[in-house]
Amino acid sequence: MKILILRHLIHLYLLDLIPSKIRKILIVSKLNKHLKWVVKEIPFYEKLKFNKISLESFPIINKSIWIDHYNELNNLNLHYKDLYAEAKKQEISRDFNGLYRGYTIGLSSGTSGKPGIILVSKNERAIWVATVLKNIIGLKFKKRKVAFFLRSNSTLYESVKSKLLEFSYFDLSLPLEQLKLQLLECKPDIIVAPSTVLNKILENHDSVSLNNLEQIIAVAEVFDDLTKNTLKNQFPQVQLSEVYQATEGLLAYTCRLGNMHFNSNQIHAEFEDLPLANDRETLPKDVLRKQLIITDFTRKAQPLIRYRMGDIVQIRINICPCGNTNTWIHKIEGRQEDCLQFNNRVGNLIYLFPDSVRQWIIQSSQNVIDFYVTQLDNKTVQIQLNIMESEFEMVKQFIQHKFDDFNLVNGLESITLIFENSEIYHPLNSKNSRVINKTRNGI
């Protein structure tokens, strides 16, 4: 395994030495080679008739197609129900050290329908570790401790262990206070956790109690502005990084300037327009809002070709000042089905993006501790806040005014807002979104 990781590390460093135009040619060649392998080896694509093997000739698939045809979308004779049963057994036993027929397996958080399956080969684990070491954690010739908080562990994450990296898994099914005590005992250099979990586990801690801390990395859920600003104030000397990783792979990570870029050495991203009746929001001039389709040209255990994720992303059309020419992500807004949606007076569906709602609440006061927004039906939105009682009325009026403006511009009847002010409970061991549409009709 160590030799594999070293080989992929050297490959990544050599790619950096190659001029960007030549590097892009090499990546396109690698993508085309992978597509030819897929057509030849994967039953789902074998039966399709291709006049020409090009990315555009492949059908776009989604999660439903992927799960329904799972046994045809791998060449290992593996079925979704068998992998699901094995991964579920690991989660119940909390023993994540085993492999299934030599492969790492796991479950996604399953925020939209059935959970996705994570299936990773030994070589793919090595690629992942090399990417993490070079582009996320960074290589340093000193021993560092990594505190890793997630709903479930796996041999994939454990593969990052080495003589220079001591890896400690913190199980999010354990009580919060127990996790906080374990964190202080660990004294980590690096903390890795979902954004909403970071808020909880680092509450009341500072750079004195965690004096070794160099880096905080958000995974599974990237930072929202509220969490990011809180952590910046709490740990001003600590590097904040983000990893955009899902069942679909390691999609993006932050550069040295803190801006997020697609992992173009492994992922080809396509950007689709959103089929919306309205998009009246003013975005920065160099920012586009798109839905994401990804192709991973390094994975063979579980190929993903033109997979529509259901995520809304804002991308910048300019090149990042860091010099990285890979697509620069301005924001990851979340799942399409979490757009709030309403019928206007003439019956058209009008969509309100999660990021707009989040911004309204953050702009309402600097003292918002936490919030949770839930659309209950076509005319009702519940807004749970955690804020000082003295500011509650002012914040309510600010948010109400924003919704009233939205109604007026889009020809909507009045939307009923139900406000609550109390401490908000986010389960640590499940993926959390601050904005949820419980009508779940999607886009």
- Using pLDDT thresholds of 50, 70 and 90, give the confidence band for residue 429: low
User: Which comes out higher in pLDDT, residue 81 or 206?
Assistant: 81
> 3-state DSSP call for residue 66?
helix
> 3-state DSSP call for residue 279?
coil
| β-bridge mates for residue 193, sequence order | 218
The predicted structure's pLDDT at residue 420: 92
Start-to-end CA span in the chain (Å): 43
**Residue 247 Cα distances to 63, 250, 267, 303, 442, angstroms:** 10, 8, 13, 12, 20
Token digits of residue 120: 């990773």
For residue 170, is pLDDT > 90?
Answer: no
The predicted structure's pLDDT at residue 280: 55
Q: How far apart are CA 443 and CA 312, in angstroms?
A: 11
pTM confidence score: 0.82
Token digits of residue 252: 């993006």
Radius of gyration in angstroms for the set of CA atoms belonging to the chain, rounded to a whole number? 22
Token digits of residue 18: 């190659």
| β-bridge mates for residue 150, sequence order | 171
Tell me which range, 109-113, 126-130, 435-439, is most confidently predicted by mean pLDDT: 126-130
316-333: pLDDT as tens digits: 998 899 888 889 999 888
Q: How far apart are CA 219 and CA 283, in angstroms?
A: 26
Q: Which of 55-59, 67-71, 429-433 has the lowest mean pLDDT?
A: 429-433
Q: How far apart are CA 284 and CA 316, in angstroms?
A: 9
Query: Where is 391: in which H helix or E strand?
Result: helix 389-410
The predicted structure's pLDDT at residue 208: 66
Token digits of residue 11: 């490959």
The mean pLDDT of 44-51, rounded to a whole number, is 84
Token digits of residue 340: 């709030």
For residue 353, is pLDDT > 90?
Answer: no
- Among 102, 118, 132, 99, which residue's Cα sits nearest to residue 8? 132
The mean pLDDT of 120-146, rounded to a whole number, is 87
- Using pLDDT thresholds of 50, 70 and 90, give the confidence band for residue 206: low
- Using pLDDT thresholds of 50, 70 and 90, give the confidence band for residue 409: confident
Q: How far apart are CA 297 and CA 263, in angstroms?
A: 11
The predicted structure's pLDDT at residue 323: 85
Q: Are 326 and 261 in contact (CB under 8 A)?
A: yes
The mean pLDDT of 118-145, rounded to a whole number, is 87
16-47: pLDDT as tens digits: 888 888 989 999 999 999 999 999 999 999 88
For residue 442, is pLDDT > 70?
Answer: no
The predicted structure's pLDDT at residue 281: 60
Q: Mean pLDDT over all residues of the chain? A: 85
The mean pLDDT of 367-387, rounded to a whole number, is 89
Q: Which of 117-126, 257-266, 400-409, 422-431 has the lowest mean pLDDT?
A: 422-431
Q: Is the dihedral of CA 353, 62, 100, 267 positive or negative?
A: negative
Q: CA dihedral defined by 348, 439, 418, 331, rounded to 10 degrees?
A: -80
Token digits of residue 277: 């009746």
Tell me which range, 7-21, 164-178, 307-321, 356-370, is most confidently predicted by mean pLDDT: 307-321
Sequence-distant (≥ 6) Cβ neighbours of residue 13 within 8 angstroms: 134
- Using pLDDT thresholds of 50, 70 and 90, give the confidence band for residue 113: low
Q: β-strands 328-335, 304-316: how paired?
A: antiparallel
The predicted structure's pLDDT at residue 112: 53
Residue whose entry in the numeric block shows the structure tokens 């979340």: 334
The predicted structure's pLDDT at residue 282: 66
The mean pLDDT of 370-396, rounded to a whole number, is 90
Residue whose entry in the numeric block shows the structure tokens 């970071």: 198
Q: Are 358 and 385 in contact (CB under 8 A)?
A: no
The predicted structure's pLDDT at residue 276: 61
Q: List helix spans (H) across 271-353.
A: none
The mean pLDDT of 248-275, rounded to a whole number, is 90
For residue 204, is pLDDT > 80?
Answer: no
Q: How far apart are CA 427 and CA 344, in angstroms?
A: 35
Give all domains of the chain, ordered by start, each with its CATH number: 2-338 (3.40.50.12780), 340-437 (3.30.300)
User: Which comes out higher in pLDDT, residue 262 or 140?
Assistant: 262
334-350: pLDDT as tens digits: 777 778 888 888 878 88
The predicted structure's pLDDT at residue 223: 84
Q: CA dihedral defined by 97, 125, 241, 254, rounded to 10 degrees?
A: -160
| β-bridge mates for residue 218, sequence order | 193, 242
267-298: pLDDT as tens digits: 999 998 876 645 556 678 888 889 899 999 99
Burial class (CB in 10 A: 0-12, 13-18, 19+), 147: buried
Token digits of residue 142: 């000193």
- Using pLDDT thresholds of 50, 70 and 90, give the confidence band for residue 99: confident
